[in-house]
C-alpha cells in the first residue's frame, strides 16, 4: 500500500469558492490514480515561496487562478508555445526538473463554446483583459473568430490584448473603453464575460452594460463557474440568448490539465457530475 500520493493543486486568492478540487479529485479516484489535489490560498506576495515550496515537496504541477496567471511566469523555467502567445499561465507542469507553464483556459473555453455555436467568422465582444481573457481571446482567434472587441476599464491592458490578437493571430481586434451601460453593437454574435464580476461570494455583482442590446440568438458565455447561473446568464436567457455557463470551460480545462500531469484522458462526465453535486445543481 502506498501512503505517499503524488501532489498537484491550485494557488489562488480567493481560493475557498473554487470547486476545481472536487472535480479533479473525483477524476483521480475514478481512474484509480494515487494523486491528490490541494486547493491553496496564496497571496501575491507569497507566490514565489509557494512555487518554490511545490518544487521542494515534489509536486507534479499546479493550477494558477486569480490573481496569479500573469505574475507566475517570472517564477517558472519556461513556457509552452500557446502560453507564450497568450502571456498568461493557468497550469504548470514539472518536466525534467523544470516548471513549464501551460494555458488550458482558452482551449477549454473553445471546446465548450463549440458545443453551442460555430466560432469561425464570428464577431466577439469580450469583457475583461486579464489572464483568462487573454487565453480566451487568443484561442478564439486561432479557432477562426473574425473580430474581437476587447472591453476593459484599464485602457493599457485592453489595448495590449487587442494588439496581441492583431499581431499574433489571423483575427482583427480593437479596444473599447468600458463606460456605464455599455451597449452590445449590432452584428455581435458572441458576448463573453472573462472578468471576476459575479464570482462567489459577490454573486449579486453584474456587468455594467445596456441589457436591452442583448438580442435573441446572440451567444452569451460566462467564464465564471461558481455560481454557474450568474446574473449575466439569467438575464441573457430572459432576452432570448443562447447561454453557456462556466462549468463547461472549467471541466474541459481541468481535464486537459490532468492529461498534462498524468497522461490520462480524464472522464469529463465524472468531473461534471461531481461539480453538479458539490454546487447543488
Q: Exposure string (b/e) for 204-230, b if CB count within 10 Å is 16 or more?
A: eebbebebebbeeebbbbbbbbbbbbb
Same structural domain, 206 and 181: yes
Domain extent for 34: 6-103+248-279
**Residue with the larger pLDDT of the pair 2 and 179:** 179
Same structural domain, 181 and 263: no
DSSP letters along 45-66, please? Answer: GGHHHHHHHHHHTT--EEEE-T
pLDDT, tens digit, 9 for 90 and up, residues 51-69 = 999 999 999 999 998 899 9
The Cα angle at residue 196 between residues 155 and 59, in degrees rounded to 5: 110
The x, y and z cell numbers of residue 150, run together, are 476587447
Catalytic status, residue 202 = no
78-87, 148-157, 186-195: which has the minimum mean pLDDT? 78-87
Same structural domain, 257 and 269: yes
* pTM assigned to the model: 0.86
Same structural domain, 119 and 236: yes
The predicted pLDDT at position 181 comes to 96
In a domain, residue 49? The reply is yes
At 239, the pLDDT band (50, 70, 90 cuts) reads: very high
Same structural domain, 86 and 128: no
Same structural domain, 200 and 92: no
Q: Which of 24, 51, 69, 228 is catalytic?
A: 69
Which residues touch 194 (CB under 8 Å, ≥6 apart)? 126, 127, 128, 130, 132, 133, 136, 223
Same structural domain, 184 and 215: yes
Same structural domain, 46 and 126: no
Same structural domain, 87 and 14: yes
Same structural domain, 205 and 82: no
pLDDT at 139 over 80: yes
The predicted pLDDT at position 35 comes to 98
Q: How far, CA to CA in Å, does 45 sit from each of 12, 33, 58, 136, 185?
A: 12, 33, 22, 27, 40
**What's the structural domain count of the chain?**
2
Same structural domain, 61 and 157: no
Same structural domain, 130 and 96: no
DSSP summary character for residue 73: G
In a domain, residue 1? The reply is no
Q: What is the mean pLDDT of the chain?
A: 95
Portion of the chain with pLDDT greater than 90, in percent: 93
The CATH number that applies at residue 168 is 3.40.50.720
Q: Which helix (H) or strand (E) holds 148?
A: strand 147-152
Say how far apart CA 163 and CA 129 lie, in whole Å. 12
The CATH number that applies at residue 86 is 3.40.50.10860
Q: How far, CA to CA in Å, does 97 sit from each of 56, 58, 77?
A: 11, 10, 9
- Work out the average pLDDT over 188-217: 95
Say how far apart CA 57 and CA 272 lie, in whole Å. 30
In a domain, residue 171? The reply is yes
In a domain, residue 238? The reply is yes
pLDDT, tens digit, 9 for 90 and up, residues 110-133 = 999 999 999 999 999 999 998 889
Amino acid at each position: 500500500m502506498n501512503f505517499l500520493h503524488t501532489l498537484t493543486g491550485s494557488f489562488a486568492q480567493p481560493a475557498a469558492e473554487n470547486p476545481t478540487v472536487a472535480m479533479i479529485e473525483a477524476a483521480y479516484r475514478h481512474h484509480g490514480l494515487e494523486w491528490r489535489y490541494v486547493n491553496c490560498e496564496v497571496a501575491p506576495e507569497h507566490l514565489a515561496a509557494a512555487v518554490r515550496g511545490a518544487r521542494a515537496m515534489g509536486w507534479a504541477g499546479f493550477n494558477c487562478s486569480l490573481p496569479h496567471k500573469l505574475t507566475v511566469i517570472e517564477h517558472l523555467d519556461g513556457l509552452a508555445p500557446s502560453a507564450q502567445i497568450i502571456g498568461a499561465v493557468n497550469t504548470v507542469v514539472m518536466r525534467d526538473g523544470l516548471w513549464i507553464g501551460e494555458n488550458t483556459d482558452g482551449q477549454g473555453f473553445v471546446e465548450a463554446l463549440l458545443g453551442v455555436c460555430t466560432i469561425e467568422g464570428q464577431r466577439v465582444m469580450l469583457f475583461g483583459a486579464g489572464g483568462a481573457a487573454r487565453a480566451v481571446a487568443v484561442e478564439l482567434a486561432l479557432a477562426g473568430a473574425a473580430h474581437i472587441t476587447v472591453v476593459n476599464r484599464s485602457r493599457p491592458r485592453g489595448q495590449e490584448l487587442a494588439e496581441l490578437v492583431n499581431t499574433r493571430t489571423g483575427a482583427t481586434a480593437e479596444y473599447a473603453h468600458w463606460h456605464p451601460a455599455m451597449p452590445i453593437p449590432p452584428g455581435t454574435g458572441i458576448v463573453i464575460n472573462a472578468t471576476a464580476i459575479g464570482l462567489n461570494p459577490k454573486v449579486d455583482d453584474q456587468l455594467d452594460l445596456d441589457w436591452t442590446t442583448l438580442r435573441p440568438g446572440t451567444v452569451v458565455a460566462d467564464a465564471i463557474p461558481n455560481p454557474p447561473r450568474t446574473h449575466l446568464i439569467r438575464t441573457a436567457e430572459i432576452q432570448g440568448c443562447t447561454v453557456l455557463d462556466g462549468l463547461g470551460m472549467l471541466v474541459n480545462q481541468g481535464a486537459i490539465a490532468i492529461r498534462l500531469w498524468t497522461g490520462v484522458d480524464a472522464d469529463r462526465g465524472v468531473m461534471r457530475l461531481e461539480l453538479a453535486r458539490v454546487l447543488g445543481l
